[in-house]
Amino acid sequence: MAERSSIRTGWIFSELYLWHDTGRHNLFHPPGLTTQPGVHAENEETKRRFVNLMEVSSLADRLVRIKPRAAVDEELLRFHTPEHLEFLGNLCAAGGGMAGDTTPAGPASYEIAKLSAGGVLEAVDAVVTGRVDNAYVLSRPPGHHAERNRAMGFCLLANGILGVEHARAAHNINRIAIVDWDVHHGNGPETAYYSDPDVLTISLHQDNLFPTDRGAACETGAGDAVGANINIPLPAGSGSGAYHAAFERVVIPALEEFRPELIFVSSGFDASAYDPLGRMMLSSEDYRYFTHQLNAVANSHANGRMILHHEGGYSAAYVPYCGLAVLEELSSHTTGIKDEFLESINGYGAQSLQPHQEAIINNVAAVVGI
């Protein structure tokens, strides 16, 4: 092991996050007479294995462990409606059920969701006050699909948005960027801040995957916020070349121009080559690259302040390697753990930037004026 600097990285996790019960669904379809019961895609195993690799590598011991707390109603109501909170509370109190589109909840899920959101709030407090330089929140249920009055896409509460609103309300930070590298479109932040020029939202996602008919390049914001919402809808089969080009030609220039005071990252690992719900070809080294690039912007404009909150990623075998790479880069510490899958992924055909992918990226740059 080799420590390169004294970066203080916060690590927020709770065993209770693994107790959110998504039931016996077959990936995301409920069981029935023609659908055999199985395991829901958003289950605890990917997160448990992520934690296990952090412990086995000893990287967790070098991080600042921060205990999450449950977000209270006053904090949740900064974004969500009272009706939404009442619905979730009543549903779970009655034993659970479907909270929204493809979004099951168990008896304890609402309380765990409040703990998930509260983990992000604790990360905000720690980063903004200087207790840590940056932070990773490994929580569930995830949040980037949740909207003001509805749960969807496995998400009950909008963890990242609640973090943004906490930074504004509790710390008077207003110029905030959200980068969403989950394979699915970040509809929650886009909807929340579509008319807000003080929040830059950037979503890199597989085109028309979920939610369908969302995330088009032409959707750039409204009113004074035109240009503050950037969608990069990459075609299925995109790999390192396409994503690196998107970062270099769109994401980083947009962030440099915006000059955020704080950066949030919707950290989904479902654009990896082994994910069952996406059709992209990324490796752990790509996620390391994303983190390195965003760190540079954060160091230039935000005093290094960056908060990553866990979203998708459904390959129990591969999520841990992606997560470890991100945490190594955040903390500037190398563990020496080898990604056993990396050589195979790097050998995939069409990993380099393809002409049809470049055309899409160039179009996005032109649409947003970069």
Residues 86, 72, 130: CA angle, nearest 5 degrees: 150
3-state secondary structure of 6: coil
Tokens of 147: 């909207």
Q: How many CA atoms lie within 13 A of 34 on its CB side?
A: 0
User: Is-catalytic flag, 301?
Assistant: no
- For the chain, what is the largest distance between any 2 Cα atoms, rounded to a whole number of angstroms? 57
| Residues 161 and 121 sit within 8 Å (Cβ to Cβ) | no
Cα separation, 44 vs 27, in Å, equals: 13
Cα separation, 298 vs 182, in Å, equals: 20
Is it true that the peptide bond before 37 is cis, omega within 30 degrees of 0? no
- 116: exposed, middle or buried (C-beta count within 10 Å: 0-12, 13-18, 19+)? buried
How far does CA 263 lie from the centroid of its chain?
Answer: 12
Strands 134-137 and 103-105: unpaired
Tokens of 284: 């752990």
Cα separation, 175 vs 159, in Å, equals: 18
Q: How many CB atoms lie within 10 A of CB 29?
A: 14
Among 145, 184, 310, 333, the one annotated catalytic: 145
Distances (CA, A) of 305 to 125, 161, 173, 301, 369: 11, 16, 11, 9, 26
Q: How many CA atoms lie within 13 A of 202 on its CB side?
A: 26
Positions marked catalytic: 145
